Amino acid sequence: MCAKVSYLSDKYTLSQIMDGYREAVKLLYIHIFEYMTEKGFFEHLSGEITPNDIRDWSSGNAYQRFEHLSDGITLNDLMEKMNISKDRKQIFSAIIQCLADMGVLEVKNGSTVLLKSAKCPFCICEIDTKYFDVVGNVPKEIAKLVKRFDPLSSDSTVKFDGNFNRFWNAIFLAPYYAYGRDEAVKWVGFEDATIADLGCGPGYALEKLAVHAGKHGRITAVEVSKDFLDIAAKRVNGMCKVDFIKSDVDNGLPFLESSKYDGVTAIGLLHFLRKPEQFLSEVNRILKPGGKFAMGNQYLIKPTMYQGATDLYFSIIGQYSKAHTSEQIRQMLSSSGLNLNYTFEVGNYGWFYARKE
Ligand SMILES: C[S@@+](CC[C@H](N)C(=O)[O-])C[C@H]1O[C@@H](n2cnc3c(N)ncnc32)[C@H](O)[C@@H]1O
């Protein structure tokens, strides 16, 4: 292993990462609670709301769950009363899911949501900040976007481009995310390796992979966003031979040779793809036998206190996205010929490290 690469696992244990993530989600929920209070949500609800379709976990999308709140009040009515623009419906729905996940709204009998309490169950002074830096500014950035969104039109949705640098840097540099990315680099990276980093974004994994690969290594970076490709290219300039390809991986990887790669990474990518099974088959095709694959920060369907926060995050990004259960991901990996080696979860994010048979 190359001595120059530093890993977050030297600084944090996985359990510290998980603890920090939990406390930061509580902080996000406090921000959400304050926002909904300010907007008058609790005044407009009479005490009982009955959604048509409460928890459609199979879609991983909060929107359907709160389409109708009661016989009297629809989501649209409530948004109008609270002066939230109609095109924020999906985000608003995800915010209500956050309230349900934090226990302010309670699901009863599978079909009724009761307004349990207008008190926030988390107190800011009770939040354990010990490992707080594992999530950095993410709750603040998300809360800021929620507030900024409602009076604006749909073109304020987060894009994969340089205009959202501040938001993306908060996400990509937060240790809860970077920890799994480091594990991905550890899993696939070595000297002289031939690696493909798919959906490389601004190149944080790429940089470490390039340090590992050294001057005889070769990396191919594939990315749909031109801005991110440019940022990534600057980051690894002169480090090792890196080919940059601007492409939508939902169209397959016809430009990548079969059985060529020692390692492939696809971090924070699969949930944005319309054809995830086809993508994983392509990953299997381009890997050498015995080659390694790391996939992660994968949006999971997992009904926990984190689901609302994760749904909210993906609603804010506003790109096509689809969550899967951890079991579905395992199935997809296995059907494409990839053997899962190890996996872990941080909140509703799953990390999967596999190998081609
Ligand atoms: C959450 S970011 C992750 C970036 C990087 N892998 C990391 O972990 O730091 C997701 C990346 O996937 C890219 N992406 C999304 N859909 C894509 C597609 N269909 N084809 C190629 N790249 C895609 C986005 O532009 C973005 O850079």
Domains located in the chain, CATH noted: 14-156 (no CATH), 170-356 (3.40.50.150)
Q: What is the pLDDT of residues 131-143, one digit of tens each?
A: 777 777 778 888 8
Phi, psi of 166 (to 5 degrees): -60, -45
Q: What is the pLDDT of residues 266-288, one digit of tens each?
A: 999 999 999 999 999 999 999 99
Q: Report pLDDT for 336.
A: 97
Centre of ligand 1 to C-alpha 45, Å, is 39
**Residues within a 6 A CB radius of ligand 1:** 160, 172, 181, 199-201, 204-205, 223-225, 228, 248-250, 267-269, 272-273
User: Other C-beta atoms within 10 Å of 273: how many?
Assistant: 20
Centre of ligand 1 to C-alpha 323, Å, is 15
CB 95 within 8 A of CB 312: yes
Q: What is the pLDDT of residues 15-69, one digit of tens each?
A: 999 988 888 888 899 999 999 998 888 887 755 444 433 333 333 444 445 555 5
Centre of ligand 1 to C-alpha 228, Å, is 9
Q: Report pLDDT for 170.
A: 86
Residue 353 CA to residue 342 CA, distance in Å, equals 5
**pTM attached to this predicted model:** 0.89
Mean pLDDT estimate for the chain: 85
Residue 242 has pLDDT above 60, yes or no: yes
Nearest residue (CA) to ligand 1, atom 12: 199
Task: List strand residue ranges (DSSP E) for 19-174, in order.
Answer: 48-49, 105-108, 112-115
* 353 or 312, higher pLDDT: 353
Pocket test for ligand 1, best of 182, 224, 351 (most atoms within 8 A of CB): 224
Residue 121: partners with Cβ closer than 8 Å, 6 or more residues away: 102, 103, 104
Q: Which atom of ligand 1 is the closest one to the Cα of 201?
A: 27
If DSSP codes are grouped into helix, strand and coil, which group holds residue 287?
A: strand
Nearest residue (CA) to ligand 1, atom 27: 201
Q: Report pLDDT for 192.
A: 94
Q: Report pLDDT for 349.
A: 96
Pocket test for ligand 1, best of 160, 167, 209 (most atoms within 8 A of CB): 160
Q: Assign 79 a pLDDT band (cuts: 50, 70, 90).
A: confident
Q: Which atom of ligand 1 is the closest one to the Cα of 181?
A: 8
* 292 or 54, higher pLDDT: 292
